[in-house]
Chain A
Amino acid sequence: MPLNLVVVSAIAYVALLFAVAFWAEGAARRGRARWLRGPLIYTLSLSIYCTAWTFYGAVGTAARTGLEFVTIYLGPTLVMVGWWALLRKIVRIGQVQRITSIADMISSRYGKSTALGGLVTAMAVVGTAPYIALQLQSVTLSFAALAGPAQASLNDTALIVAIGLAVFTILFGTRNLDVNERHNGIVTAIALEAVVKLVALMAVGAFVVWGIAGGPSQTFELIEAAPIATWELQPGRWLGLTMLSAAAFLCLPRMFQVMVVENSDERHLATASWAFPSYLFALSLFVVPIAAVGLQVMPAGSNPDLFVLTIPLAQEQDALAMLAFLGGFSSATSMVIVACIALATMMSNHVIVPLWLAMREQGATVSGDVRHVVIGARRASIVGLLALGYVYYRFTGGGAFLASIGLISFCGVAQILPVLLGGIFWRGATRIGAGAGLILGFAVWTWTLFLPSFGDGVAVSAATMAEGPMGFGWLRPHALFGISGLDPLLHAFFWSMSLNTLAFIAGSLLSKATAIERVQGAAMVNVFRFGSGARGWTPATVEAEDLLMMAQRILGGREAQRLFRAEAVAQGKRGFLPDVTPDFLTHLERQLAGSVGAATAHAMVGQITGGLVVSVEELMRVADETAQIMEYSARLEAQSEELSRTAAQLREANEKLTALSIQKDAFLSQISHELRTPMTSIRSFSEILRDGGDMTPEQRSRFSGVIHDEAQRLTRLLDDLLDLGVLENGQVSLRLETVPLSGIIDRSLSASGAVTRMAVARDPAREQVFIETDPDRLSQVFINLIGNAVKYCQAPDPRLDIRVRHAGAGLDIDFVDNGAGIPRESQEVIFEKFARVGDPDAAGGAGLGLAICREIVHRLGGTISYLPGQDGAAFRVHVPLRQNLSAGLAAQ
């Protein structure tokens, strides 16, 4: 077949993938083609498990060792069918914790440890490099088989393929990859590749069975006759390989990417749990027939790894051969693309960006250049990974059997399994234990399997292989602790996993988990019980307004108001301000987390409620998360504006937090002033009285009078503070009665002593209306308003009008005096605690009275407001005629 045709076909196929990815991306963005996010595509995307190794190598394995290839399918099948509850747990944790990769998962579980993230990343990279080499090798070999080996040297072809894949992956994977959302484009393209793989293999299989052998029964005869049939099962190796492939299925970074990160709905797993094993079954159906027929019809010495391709070629079925080539090409490219994307995410998130942030003195400031760092890091990672794969390919000389390279990789990434399972099932697992297990397992794997795989004398000298390093016989790579005679793979798998698990358990038992590890451990282990990890809130002294202000900054005005209004309605309240309950805080935090990340949201809510002193760990997590937020945003090349918006929001949120902190200081300082002032008089006069000396009896009695008055003032202030605290916490219970309004006003007027000090005009006819309310509380409000008029109205002939009128389902009761009124600029703040006018150092606080009034009236289902433009100070109290039942209940 001419080389040009092969190259053009490959490029045309890649263009088709691009087109599909592009279309799917667009359709998903516009909300069309919902099946693109359905279980079918999800199941097919899982097929990146089957790489070129499975596509070509399964037949090769079958031709060499009979049915052993089945183990590679058996492992994942057992996991999918038998242990899909585990997958569901991992997926749930991934969703709840917004996990971006397997490294992120491990790092998150063990206290957001940067070191563990980096370690897992390093292991994944080293474990994946052979795998990429494998894909290079398979594409190179299939290329050579199709176009003829004379066309180009194998190494050159491998290099070109590596470069091509790098370019392709960068274009494909760093164009619009975004961990926040699902990558419908890439996943759809991979699903298409899965179909191509399956169709190609089945077509070749069908051709072999019916085209060459002449039907199923003849095929069975051929299989019986082939040497395959006589190979025996080795139970140990079977068990080992099945476990190994099951472990790798769970731990491979690319599998984690499609299974967890790309999962849009947990329920897809239910479908995949039977559909994916079926896919594997279909894929393996013709493996043995192809191997048997190939051994029969192909010349001796043919590479069985390429039977899928060479049998159609030998039979001059060029179209079928092309289909087989594309099938293998699909397997290789989809694996490389997803693996590179997953690893590039891990490398940039857990190695490059942390290093970069650590090198900058400022730490995590949001700025435009982060985007470039992250994108650059990701692209460099992709190039680096493929370069690594190419180097590995050159070192091993492309000589090893396909399958053995794959198994080396499997064994490397399987080292993550103990730490992963331990992390989500055992709360006692600690960072130290995880680190110890990973390092030991990885070291054993490197020594016993990875380094020897380069070939005799390349990485490990022949002498070392035979006698151990520096004569330590018990450290021989293929006979650790003197146990020789095992299959090298099984030997490595057994020792690495055993020592890994032992070190993990021992390290965890011997070390103590930090607080954040315990929190994360509990959140992951109990993910189904607690949902989002249940970091609950107790309502401290927090104002719904403060929360609303913060939420508006982050969610935007409309969304924040919608959220608060919905909650208020759910609580049976009017307006935008619900009671601040623990549930609401948790809900709010979750909403905010969607915008600024969980740790930041937690810290923000904590700051405002005062229920949390932000710890160093929290701050670290905020920084960590901020870095991730920046990094997510950075990836949206097309949405760079969003990054600056996010940055602005973070800045604003920060300013807001600072402002709130200042407000709190001001409040405390004000309380301190309000308490100290009466105490000053009391102390000073009591000292005067105590020390005796010249004093008239009048002075003496006057001074004790002052002490008495000031003591009462102190008591009132404390009562007010406690009253307000009770009201704000929603602990107040209303005693509802139906009474005439006039009676409440009578009581209030006499209690405030207004009648003797100012003229009071009333409207007796309109006051004859019965309202259902808490008369004591309402009269507390009236007394306060009337008292203010008495105190502040400076008119020569002070006068107070009390007007009543029906308004909607309630009453408006206005209190209007003829004094100077309240200056316009202060009208908005008078209902705040210790609201003061102008200079914060100036005195003259209105105290807590109006703040209490506002709280009471809200409890009673009404509103209180200042009426501008009247003769003097004018307040309007609006109360409902009847209490809304649910509001009444909510208030209690």
Chain B
Amino acid sequence: MSDGKRVLLIEDEPNIIEAVRFILSRDGWRVSTHSDGADAVDAVRARAPDLVILDVMLPDRSGYDILADLRADDAMKELPVLVLTARGQQKDRDLALRLGATEFMVKPFSNQALLEAVRLIAAPSTGAPQ
């Protein structure tokens, strides 16, 4: 389980927010959400989560730009970021990983796969997922 680690979900679709929140909360994560692109970086900085799940097509600002800003900040360079997007082409995956995404997942996702990915990247040093 997650030992109460904190996840910040940056996503603008209310129903998807609800689904992810439900899945992760049940697994023991503390989930907070942010649905606006413009001040997403500030939100991450302020809440200092253990892990970020980032949508790409957000109002006002692209998730890629947010990711780039996060990686440019020394404090958040190592922060695990899971890019979760409806844009599933190979070039999107390449771009996300080049910009420093820790993991890339395409919507729609299987709940189990999302959980496993989140567990894996949140605890990279402890080895295998539980």
* A574-618 interface code vs B (CB 8 A; 1 in, 0 out): 000000000000000000000000000000000000000000000
Asked whether A669 and B23 contact (CB < 8 A) given A680-B107, A681-B15, the answer is no
- B37 cross-chain contacts in A, Cβ below 8 A: 842
**What's the interface size class on A, roughly?**
20 to 34
| A677 touching B62, Cβ below 8 Å | no
Rounded to whole Å, the gap between the CB of B67 and the closest CB of chain A is 11
Establish whether residues A843 and B57, one from each chain, have CB atoms under 8 Å apart when the complex forms: yes
B19 touches A677 (CB 8 A): no
On whether the beta carbons of B87 and A672 are closer than 8 Å, the reply is yes
- Min CB distance, A671 to chain B, in Å? 10
Among residues 690 to 734 in chain A, which have CB atoms less than 8 Å away from a CB atom of chain B?
A: 691, 693-694, 699, 706, 709-710
Task: Mark interface residues in B10-27 (1 if CB within 8 Å of A CB, else 0).
Answer: 001101101110110010
**Contact status A672-B88, CB under 8 Å:** yes
Interface size class of B (residues with CB under 8 A): 20 to 34
* Contact indicator per residue, chain B 57-71, by CB within 8 Å of chain A (1) or not (0): 111111111000000
CA distance A688 to B21 in the complex (A): 12
Chain B contacts of A682 at CB under 8 A?
108
Q: Given contacts A669-B89, A680-B109, A681-B13, is CB(A841)–CB(B56) below 8 Å?
A: yes
Does A673 sit at the interface, judged by CB under 8 A?
Answer: yes
Chain A residue numbers with a CB within 8 Å of B111 are: 684, 687-688, 691
CA distance A681 to B86 in the complex (A): 12
Q: Which residues of A contact B130 (CB under 8 A)?
A: none
Contact B16 A681 (CB under 8 A): yes
On whether the beta carbons of B22 and A669 are closer than 8 Å, the reply is: no
Do A843 and B16 contact each other (CB < 8 Å), given the known contacts A669-B87, A680-B108, A687-B111? no
Given A681-B19, A841-B56, A842-B60, CB of A687 within 8 Å of CB of B86: no
A685 within 8 A of B: yes
Are B86's CB and A676's CB within 8 A?
yes
A694 and chain B: residue at smallest CB distance: B26
Residue of B nearest to A669 (CB): B87
Chain A neighbourhood of B59, CB < 8 A: 842-844
Chain B residues with Cβ below 8 Å from A669 are 87, 89
Residues in A neighbouring B22, C-beta threshold 8 A: 688, 699
Closest to A838 in B: B60
Cβ of B126 within 8 Å of any chain A Cβ, yes or no, is no
Distance in Å: Cβ of A101 to nearest Cβ of chain B? 47
B110 within 8 A of A: yes
Residue of B nearest to A678 (CB): B15
B12 pairs with A843, CB closer than 8 A: yes
A residues within 8 A CB of B58?
A: 841-843
A694 to B23, CA, bound (A): 11
Residues in A lying within 8 Å of B, measured CB to CB: 669, 672-673, 676-677, 679-685, 687-688, 691, 693-694, 699, 706, 709-710, 838-844
A-B pairs with lowest CB-CB distance, top 9: A841-B62, A676-B86, A843-B57, A684-B19, A681-B15, A680-B107, A683-B108, A680-B108, A673-B86
Chain B residues at the A interface, C-beta cutoff of 8 Å: 12-13, 15-16, 18-20, 22-23, 26, 37, 55-65, 86-89, 106-112
7 A-B residue pairs with Cβ-Cβ distance under 8 Å, sorted by A, are A672-B86, A676-B106, A677-B16, A679-B107, A680-B108, A681-B15, A684-B19
